[in-house]
Chain A
Amino acid sequence: MIKKIEQINQSATAEINSVKTLDELEAFRIKYLARNGLVGDLFDALKTLDKSDRPLMGKYLNDLRNNAQSLFDKKKEEIESNTTIRQETDDLTLPGRRRWIGSRHPLTQTLDEIKRIFYKMGFEVADGPEIEDDYHNFEALNFPPDHPARDMQDTFFITDKILLRTHTSPVQIRVMEKQKPPVRVIIPGRVYRNEAISARSYCLFHQVEGLYVDEGVTFSELKGTLVTFAKQFYGSSLKFRFRPSYFPFTEPSAEMDITCFLCNGKGCRVCKQTGWLEILGCGMVDPNVYKYVGYDEEKISGYAFGMGIERIAMLMYGIDDIRILYQNDIRFLKQF
């Protein structure tokens, strides 16, 4: 009897290891644990033993049954908990179970940083349509019809008078149409230019426009705001310069350059040997613009500025082909 018990115990312990599926486990149960299984048979045989032997053998048999049952339970849990088999391992240097990670697109990261800085300076966000009319995109921004300034921006037209905005500046008009001064907003958004696609230019890009109109706003303040921004964004040791430029909707107009941070102003390929990088255009809002939105040009003054997010991102991250920003190759995006 004892021998039999031991045999069954050994075979059950051995067999359970080869059990992989619930069906096999069921076969195991029928073989050992069912009423007329191997263990059950032995219990039946218990009655044929001497009375004096029965308690001890009974205890052995109970142990056998408990062992087989626990093998069965353990295996059942194992199979049910996972179709795969968790291995016990001592190698704690195995990798943990990582999840996918995601990130913001580099353009979003750049924009978010720009926004963060202007929020601190009291700017709010405003928004407007990408499909615009000629009035908001050009006319009210002091681009007269039949004026060569319109050539500065190659335009995609939907109809004669409807177009894809070429800059975020029309939102200046839309904001001022709705709101009285003080107006202090930034306007991020997508803009379109009908230019051949190359490493340096894409048919669309993103801008952040800024507008501040209030009583007594000066050009000196415009410089202050933009220098503060540039130092926050590019680092406080930066050198900068403002040089005269032309935009129909600002006067005086300027472009802001900072020392090329790739060559420290010595001159390199990126800054075209000038040592300077142009980062934005700006100026005092042209009085003609106030006429279009019904502001009294004698009572208020203001400034506006605009920068291209792609350009800034490309400079920041050392990207030399604008198109890669729109290809969304995951190997590229994972770098940010």
Chain B
Amino acid sequence: MRISLGWLKKYVAINVSPEELAHSLTMCGLEVESIEYLGAKYNHFVVGKVIDVQKHPKADRLTVCQVDIGAEKVQIVCGAPNVAAGQTVPVGLIDAVVPRDQHDPNGNPLKISKVSLRGVESNGMICSEYELGLGDDKEGILVLEASAPIGVPLADQLGVNDIIFEIGVTPNRPDALSHIGIAREVAAIQNIKLMLPAIDVQTNDTSISDLVKVIIEDVENCPRYSGRLISGVKIGKSPLWLERILESVGIRPINNIVDVTNYVLMECGQPLHAFDFDKVSNGTIIVKSGIDDFNFTTLDHKERKLRPDTLMICDDKKPIAIAGVMGGENTEITQSTTRVFIESAYFLPRSIRRTAKYFGLSTDASQRFERGADPEITLWALNKAADMIISIAGGTVLGNSIDVYPNKIKEKEIVIRISKVNELLGITISKKEIIDLLTKISFKLSNKESTKSNPDLLSLLVPSFRPDIEREIDVIEEIARMHGYDNIPVHEITKLRLSENNPPKDFLPIIRDCFIGAGLQEIVTNSMQPISIATLASDNVVKIANPISRDMEALRTSLLPSMLEVIRENIFKGNSSLRLFEIGKTYYHHHSIIGEYLPQYSEKTQLLIAFTGNQNPLRWDEKPRNIDFFDVKGEIESFFQKIFLDNIKFIHYPNTNALSERGVHIEINKEYAGMVGYVRKEILKQFDIENEVIFAEIDIEKIINKIKIKRHYTTLPKYPSMIRDIALVIEPNITMDKIEEAIKASGTSLLKHIELFDTYSGKQIGDSKKSYAFRLEFYSEDHTLTQNEIDGVMNNIINELEHKLKAIIRR
């Protein structure tokens, strides 16, 4: 909301600087987001007098002017046809920024510098109305009143020295959406008097009720409807001061009638609407809802389909306005309008909100009605508007005003407890002080019978312009606000009563540290992506009904696609060796009921790691080697080892996933927990990645409850261990996990550790076979092992391998 300081001063005698005022408004909840000094755009502009005009020696259209700017005379080359000696003109000096360059198609600003135009020096610019942003006339320079003092700043001469506060008014404060509303707050916080202008409307003898009939059919949604009729007006442009002040608060001038209604809106916050009364059939106004299947054209020339719950203003034949939102084209004020009916009503916030949402229309009127206007201000606003119209557009106001207000809205009465105020805020404030603070912001004391005997209670009447105040807590907030948040002490000692809940341990930092320690870089990516990408990993895609763009229409079902995007961008920027990980959520929509929080939706926290490029940084004594599958798998195995997770199996699977090919599933206690694999070539191609990318994905929830937080100490072996190596030749289809299983099964409890230390395939063992070599470690908890004991176990193992796996033992 733009608030003009000059305008505010009509209602309060402000005696502090604009900056101080802004600070005190901010500290009472009306945040001043910025201060705009309107005069600043006319820095380096002054009033000048043209003394002499000569033809430019080399250009027919240009003239060389000598301009008196008070302290000195400057030479300016001018292209305007109307420039003449003796004129008083606006002069932009060197360094001035012309608000709109009239030679620029977009009217961008232009900074004036010293130039030579076809050989003649020019030290400034005489400006047109357009260039100064004062109007649309580009034809010639703006000629000021002859009496304007030479050399004064142009801003002073034009009277554009106003200061505009941009105030961020929160949705609970509709009362602050006007100059009087802000002035009221200023009066309260500065402890000064609010002065509201007195209005005395001159009316003629004809009573409005002879000509206008207002019927409210939907009293629930329109509790009050007031109006006035003005005849004999002449529609035209508003006077400059009115256009200027409206523009300064961000409203485009339209014509004198509409401008007045907007002025009153910005003054007191009451939205008004002006109808061309001659277009209202039979002078009848009916406020009703229930109109279905009707196309209504609003003032913005758009056709809008009405809904039965849309509250409408109608005459006896047709709808003429969407109540509280926007008027209709059919009763618009035009050049030929002579009789104007001004509407000033109070509509129910909920109803206007629904309508504005439905039409996607947010207007100055709807914003105020949906937050809650002041039902008691309709007549004041009406009179103010009528008074202004006759002085600006002529005409006469008909006697009396319409005011249909069948059920007067009762003043709200709230009882507060002084003890509660102090308990909740943690302050000590007396009843007297509270009364003092609240009366400053227009609360009144009510002497409710039941509160008289109890000094802790205070009963109050809420001003009609504060729809947000309904409960004790709302009043406590007002007390806190007026007392000053900064005057509430900072209580730093807080009691530490902890919940008896034993919250689950936060494992994510531990997991993160494991991978950072292994040299991986954490990334954080967008969880929204195109549907075509989200469906790669799952069919259960969550789709967004109102996405920003097609690129963000779905929630991710895997962390891999956004990872690939990051990889591509980094490779593109010259970093092709990457070791990245992300811990993030993936999202699923289900047709059956399975979600933890919402029946049909579930979220999984996942870990994704991905490697591409070199395994190590470049080293001077080592040839670079590309990462491969076992680098990634090794990282995952080390991770599991580090968090003491066992019972893990890696199960080779052929080609089962849309994103990956060749890889292993990770199973913990026989339950799927993730996978390690190569990203599919087609997918890499889709993401424009030429290098191989290998990744691992782990479902964090599947591992978290299996992490053994409680460690238990195992006695260290007292007896020496013995090492035996064994090499075997096997068929290529026998995998490592089978061999390990066989060795474990036959190794007895003495076998403590198996490690693969060599693999071989080649001529010496026959083309189709492979050889694995293992190092086995044995020890016993209760005695030193003998060679014979180990030989026995080794024979067991060899037997098992030979029989189960048809292995040949290399000796």
Contacts and interface: CB of A to CB of B under 8 A. Distances in A.
B617 interface: yes
Contacts of A314: none
A277 B587 CA distance: 35
A148 B353 contact: yes
B461 to A, nearest CB: 20
A331 interface: yes
Contacts of B425: 218-220, 252
A108 B528 contact: no
A47 interface: no
Nearest to B623: A84
Interface string B279-303: 0000000000000000000000000
B719 to A, nearest CB: 34
B487 to A, nearest CB: 10
B524 A108 contact: yes
Contacts of A301: 423-424
Interface stretch (B405-413, B439-447, B597-605): B597-605
B464 to A, nearest CB: 19
Contacts of A184: 498-499
Nearest to B22: A274
Contact of B544 (A148, A164, A174, A224): A164
Interface string A124-136: 1110111111000
Interface string A28-58: 0000000000000000000000000000000
A326 B525 contact: yes
Given A98-B617, A330-B570, A243 B485 contact: yes
Interface string B577-599: 11111000101010000011110
Interface in A99-119: 99-105, 107-108, 112
Interface stretch (B86-94, B334-342, B474-482): B474-482
B362 to A, nearest CB: 8
A76 interface: no
Given A124-B501, A179-B499, A204-B527, A104 B516 contact: yes
Contacts of A23: none
Interface residues of B, number: 99
Contacts of B585: 130, 190
B512 interface: yes
Contacts of A132: 597-598
Contact of B172 (A108, A149, A272): A149
Secondary structure dominating the interface of A? mixed
B621 A223 contact: no
Contacts of A156: 544-547
B27 interface: yes
A330 B521 contact: yes
Contacts of B547: 156
A215 B33 CA distance: 37
A325 interface: yes
B452 interface: no
11 contacts: A97-B616, A122-B498, A129-B597, A214-B495, A221-B494, A224-B491, A241-B486, A242-B485, A255-B31, A287-B471, A328-B523
Interface of B: 26-29, 31, 33-34, 170-173, 349-350, 353-354, 357, 367, 370-371, 423-427, 471, 473-474, 476-477, 480-481, 485-486, 488-499, 501, 503, 506, 509, 512, 515-528, 542-548, 552, 555, 566, 569-570, 573, 575, 577-581, 585, 587, 589, 595-598, 601, 603, 616-617, 619-623
Cβ-closest 9 pairs across A and B:
A220-B426, A218-B426, A244-B29, A246-B170, A100-B519, A252-B477, A220-B491, A328-B523, A242-B485
